[in-house]
Structure 1
Amino acid sequence: MFTDEALDSVCIKSLWRNSQQSAQDSRGCQTKAVHITEAQVQTVSTTISGTQTEPQYQVTEQLFQQNHEEPEPPGLKDFLQRVEDVVIRELVRNTRSHAFDGFQVNWEDHSNLVSCLHCLQHPSAVERGLHVTSVSWSCTGSVIACAYGRIDDGDWNTERSYVCTWNLDRRGLNPKQADLVVDVPTAVTALCCHPQQPALIAGGLYSGEVVVWDTSRTQDSTLVQTGMSADSHREPVYQVAWVPLQKKGEFGVLSASSGGKVLLWTVDSDQGRLVLSAAYALVRQQVPHSSSISYKARGSSTVGVTSLALSPWDPDTFLVGSEGGLLLRCSFSSQKPAAAPSEGQSVTPRAPAVFSFRPRSGPVHSIHCSPFHRNVFVSAGTDGLAHLHSLLQADPLLSLRVSDSYVFQVEWSPTRPLVFAAATGQGEVQILDLGRRSLRPAATIEQGAAGRAATCLAFNRQNAHLLAVGKTDGTVSVWQLSADLTEQSPRESSQLEQIANQVAE
């Protein structure tokens, strides 16, 4: 019933695929290039303003209009007409008066002219009752150095003392602990920091030695010293100062003692000593005297030097004050010798005095030359007066009563031509202003107390607002001065010129 049979295959093409292939087509498109441009724009803001005062007659009319309803005070118009000529005459006279030239109104309370910033002390020195004999600021103005000794011992003193320094810019400043303490075998009577190298300090000792300390050395801070020789001082050294030498950039040490010698030393750091370069001897017989000044030499023939000052204007001029009240203008004569004397060779002393001022009644403790006028200097001593001098005349230009006790030191302000400060034996520091109509002190620093004499002071050359004061109680106070005491007024220099040109009566 069923049989196998092979049949031929039949192929039927897909109509759908053909229709789809014919509908497909490739197409392409591309947009045009986009151009980009960067541009900046800023608006400028402008403002136009104007002002104009109204004419005087309009203001007057407005005042009359405002007050037209108020009745005029009886007799006012007649009074104004009667005094008009007198008032105008006085106003004209005031315009020609110079009574208030240079006067500046001070709105501050005078109690705020000074304020204490620091009270520094070395505990060991305070316990032993040592006095502050000298203070000096470093050339940077940040470090204050002080020397300890005694000012009331007339006998030979072998008691050891100290030189201490404090860095006021240090964050961890301890007023009762010095940053550096140098032990010295005898009392230190004078101190002076180097004008260019902040680590060097020159000092004079009660034994007559002159020492230079290097505070940057960690072991022994003594850089050089004079030792005891035939040419060195044999009496206490009361003043030391750094002096520029002929060789550029180098400084020597000038020292003065009560033995009547002023010696110039050069620093020989290789040999560790100070080498004598020049010597000046002050002998009474060689002191020039004016015909109008009588002076009788008493006691020793030597002039014991108690104070010394260098002229900032003339490198050949220096001033000395003596125990007997002599005040002398001296000259280095010639510039410093070109070569120091050879080993073992003594230096022949010169007679430096060229002019004598009127003697004082007691020792001259301090002299300081004005940094604003080449001929003006101030001196002070046991008479309690501050004497203003001119280098050109023997008599003082002006004498001011500063204290009923001694005046231990005077110093000009580094910024005010008419201002100087004086440290007194009563413990006060008086700041005097020669531009004031009254000769009373412009400010008084710290009222004194028994046993607390102000022995020394020093203005800070880098920061004129700071003044350091040393006392016999072993403390060093750093005071801040107000602008009234440090800022120069317009006519101050011309006023100092007028004082310098006046003839002493």
Structure 2
Amino acid sequence: MEIVHEYVKLRSDFGRQCLFSDRHVELLVDLAPNPKLAMQFVLKETRDLGVQGCWEMSEHEVNTKSFEYENQGINHVEGGWPKDINPLEMEQTIRFRKKVEKDEGYMNSIQVLGTLIGQCVGQNNAVDIYQEYFKDEELLDEIQEAPSVKIVNVFRDPNKEKRNITSLSWQPGGGRNLAAAYSCLELQKPTGNMSKDSYIWDLENPNHPKDVLTPTSQLICLDYNPQDLHTLVSGCVNGQIVLWDARDTQEPVAVSLLEQSHAEPVYKMIWLQSSTGTEAFSASTDGQILWWDVRELKEPTARLVLDLSRKENRNTALGAVSLEYNPTMPDTFLVGTEQGAVVYCNRAGETPTEKIVCTYDGHHGPVYAIQRNPFFPQNFLTVGDWGARIWSEDIKESSIMWTKHQMAYLTDGCWSPVRPSIFFTVNMDGMLDIWDILFKQIDPTLSVKVHDEALCSLQVHRDGCMVACGSQQGAATLIEISSGLCTQQNNEQNLLGEMLERETKREKILRASQTGEEEDRNSKESPRELLLRSDYDFHNLMESEQRRKQWESRQRHYP
């Protein structure tokens, strides 16, 4: 049924004001109820929902007092002399000074001003007016530059027959000297007429070596004494230990007896921290670690055979090719072997079982380099075969981090002494790789082609700004790296600590899941949930750190 209702209105009434008035009720339509429609009725609960279509804003007005400005002028006369005194006449000015100095007002003014000046001088001495308040923030901007390196000098072997640079050592105390050990380790290459000299180079003079070390046998390793700028200790191909004084390098200061020395080449020598500063220890492929007092090199003071069966059998001992010693942990040291294992040793032990604590096995070939992180000594770096690995002392089965296999064999590596997350490696292709594991683990941050021949050794200066690389043809290359790679970033140490702890925890969980044992029996989370949670926590930490840096950057530009 269609409901139609007509409204009749004159055209002249259109647009007029509506006038409302009372009238009687008028029934327009009357619809009878339909019982069938009542069956379809559904009762719903009422719900109130507020909808706001625009942003809530508040308005506040403040009427401040206007600042009143006042212009004042001063008439300055040169020297402040009165009008009747000519400043160019010396007699008049001297006479006027004497007159003023006798005035009581002048004396009182000097006493009052003297107290104020003394207070100002005291404040100036107490507050550093030249302090750089935003030094750290400026360094952050510098770090954003692209990493780069620059070759400063190349020190070449002056002999016709070129030899490998097997070891490098910087002079301690920020010295400007670099000692290099030259030797030939190729078995089939004749060495009868080959020079046995090694050299100490001055960084400013690459043409001629500053000093020449002439041993009875070629040197494989050498190391500056950290407590003496002129004393070096070195290991020879024939197994002897040689002590040098850089002020007199014509002949060595002392040489160990051949029958009391190593039976094979000495690959590593390290000074020990002691009150006398004369103790060192050596590692050789004959499977022995020998301790020496350089004041008396007739025989070693102690001896350790790297026999994992703890029977001190030299026939089954592992050959040592690298050493690691940290002065903060004077009784423990690490040994890298030819067989790819890292041996953890305790010097304070009395029996072979107590001296050889455990082993870490992860490389397929010799461990050419091993070093603890300067900021996290419980984590150490190993370099061997085609990759580098980072280990934790708590996990012996496997490393917690590792690089992917490289195309060329790695020969040496070390940590940066100033940045905890950076380490360096060199390989047989002549490449120097710089790794920053905090932000990039798969590939190196920077790769540099240093030489066409293989690189055999690597050493970083104590300030972290220079790197020395030794090649197979006897060229020692001095490389300067950019400031971003040798300047510690804000909160870098804390972030790396979180990463190493996370990776250590991850490896423990994986080992526990493989052996069917849980590391934490009180935890109700599964190993997979623990891994996911550790990843989530780490990424949240990184994002919060980035947001903090962005906020600080905006505060500096828009205070």
* TM-score (norm. length: structure 2): 0.62
Please report how far the alpha carbon of residue 443 of structure 1 lies from its aligned counterpart in structure 2 after TM superposition.
Answer: 1.5
* Counterpart position of 1:193: 224
| Contact 1:147/1:191 (8 A) holds in 2 | yes
1:265 is matched by which residue type in structure 2? W
Say yes or no: does 1:114 pair with 2:149: yes
Measure how far apart 1:361 and its partner are.
1.3
Q: Structure 1 284/156 Cα, relative in aligned 2: closer, same or farther at 3 Å?
A: farther
Q: Deviations over 1:131-155 (max 9, x none)?
A: 1111100113311010101243378
Aligned to 1:226: 256
Moved more, 494-503 or 138-147: 494-503
Which secondary structure state, in structure 2, belongs to the residue aligned with residue 161 of structure 1? coil
Residue 364 of structure 1, CA deviation: 1.0
SS in 2 for 1:498: helix
- For 1:414-439, what per-residue CA distance to the aligned partner results, in whole angstroms no more than 9, with x for missing partners? 00000000111111111100111453
Deviation, structure 1 residue 251: 3.0
Q: Deviations over 1:387-411 (max 9, x none)?
A: 0000111110011036322211111
How far the C-alpha of 1:249 sits from its partner, in A, is 3.8
Measured after TM superposition, the shift of residue 349 of structure 1 is 7.8
Classify 1:376/1:104 alpha carbon distance in 2 versus 1 (closer, same or farther; 3 Å). farther
Residue 105 of structure 1 and its aligned partner are, at CA, apart by 8.4
Residues 105/401 of structure 1: CA separation in 2 closer, same or farther (3 Å cut): farther
Higher percent of residues as strand: 1
Question: What secondary structure does 2:272 align onto?
Answer: strand
Pair 163,266 (structure 1): closer, same or farther in 2 beyond 3 Å? same
Other structure's SS at 2:291 match: strand
Instruction: Determine if contact 1:163/1:183 at 8 Å carries over to the other structure.
Output: yes
**Counterpart-to-counterpart distance in 2, 1:414 and 1:390:** 19
Partner AA of 1:149 in structure 2: S
Residues 161-172 of structure 1 correspond to what in structure 2 (within 5 A)?
161-168=196-203
Structure-2 residue corresponding to 1:244: 273
1:100-499 paired onto structure 2 within 5 Å: 107-110=144-147, 113-124=148-159, 127-141=160-174, 142-153=176-187, 159-168=194-203, 173-217=204-248, 219-220=250-251, 222-229=252-259, 231-245=260-274, 248-268=275-295, 273=297, 275-286=299-310, 300-334=315-349, 352-382=355-385, 384-394=386-396, 395-401=398-404, 403-437=406-440, 439-449=442-452, 452-461=453-462, 463-499=463-499
By percentage of residues, which structure has more helix? Answer: 2
After superposition, residues 86-105 of structure 1 pair within 5 angstroms as: none
Aligned CA distance change for structure 1 residues 153 and 496 (closer, same or farther; 3 Å)? farther
Q: 1:500 to 1:211 in 2, by over 3 A?
A: same
Deviations 1:33-60 (A, max 9, x none): 9963436999x9xxxxxxxxxxxxxxxx
Q: Is the 8 A contact 1:163 1:182 kept in 2?
A: yes
Distance change in 2, residues 1:218/1:365 (3 Å)? closer
Name the CA shift for 1:190/1:478 in 2 (closer, same or farther; >3 Å): same
Residue 412 of structure 1 and its aligned partner are, at CA, apart by 0.5
Q: For 1:121 and 1:211, how far apart are their aligned partners in 2?
A: 24
- The CA distance in 1 between the partners of 2:405 and 2:449, in whole Å, is 15
Q: Distance in 2 between matches of 1:227 and 1:351?
A: 29
Could you tell me how far apart the structure 1 residues matched to 2:323 and 2:166 are?
15
Check whether the contact 1:412–1:420 (CA below 8 A) recurs between aligned residues. yes
Contact 2:213–2:250 at 8 Å: present in 1 too? no
Aligned residue for 1:414, secondary structure, equals: coil
Cα deviation, residue 351, structure 1: 6.6
Partner amino acid for 1:403? Q
SS of the equivalent of 2:286 reads: coil
* 8 Å Cα contact 1:224/1:274 also seen in 2: no
Q: Which amino acid aligns with 1:237?
A: V
3-state DSSP of counterpart to 2:321: strand
SS of the residue 2:234 aligns to: strand
- The 1-side partners of 2:328 and 2:228 are apart by 22
Equivalent residue letter for 1:311: N
Aligned-residue offset at 1:499: 3.2
Does the 8 Å contact 1:133/1:151 carry over to 2? no
2:403–2:441 CA contact under 8 A, matched in 1: no
**3-state DSSP of counterpart to 1:134:** strand
Shift of 1:359: 4.0
Give secondary structure in 2 for the equivalent of 1:484: helix
- Structure 1 residues 207, 160: closer, same or farther in 2, change over 3 A? farther
Q: Distance in 1 between matches of 2:146 and 2:347?
A: 47
Show CA shifts across 1:354-380 (max 9, x none).
011124211111101111012100001
Q: Percent identity?
A: 25
Specify the SS of the correspondent of 1:184.
coil
AA matched with 2:477: S
TM normalised by structure 1 equals: 0.68
**AA matched with 2:471:** K
1:483 deviates by 1.3
User: Match for 2:393: what amino acid?
Assistant: L
Instruction: Summarize the Cα distance change of 1:105–1:459 in structure 2 as closer, same or farther, 3 Å threshold.
Output: closer
Q: 1:414 to 1:318 in 2, by over 3 A?
A: same
Asked if the contact 1:283–1:303 (Cα under 8 Å) also holds between the matched residues in 2, the reply is yes
Partner of 1:78: none
Q: RMSD of aligned C-alpha atoms?
A: 2.9
Q: Distance in 2 between matches of 1:150 and 1:198?
A: 28
Question: Partners of 1:425 and 1:407 in 2: how far apart?
Answer: 6
For each residue in 1:233-269, what CA deviation from the matched residue of structure 2 results, as whole angstroms up to 9, or x when unmatched? 0100000000123xx242312100000000010022x
Structure with more contact order per residue of length (Cα contacts < 8 Å, sep ≥ 6): 1
- 2-side partners of 1:406 and 1:154: how far apart? 21
| More divergent stretch after superposition (210-219 vs 418-427) | 210-219
Whether contact under 8 Å (2:214, 2:249) holds in the other structure is no
2:99 is matched with 36
User: Is the Cα–Cα contact under 8 Å of residues 397 and 499 in structure 1 kept in the other structure?
Assistant: no
Q: 2-side partners of 1:277 and 1:491: how far apart?
A: 44
Aligned counterpart, 1:59: none
For residue 300 of structure 2, give the secondary structure of its aligned residue in structure 1.
Answer: strand
Uncovered stretches (5+) of structure 2, i.e. residues with no partner: 1-94, 117-139, 511-559
State the distance in 2 between where 1:471 and 1:455 align.
5
Report the CA distance shift for 1:198/1:106 in structure 2 as closer, same or farther (over 3 A): closer
The 2-side partners of 1:227 and 1:156 are apart by: 25
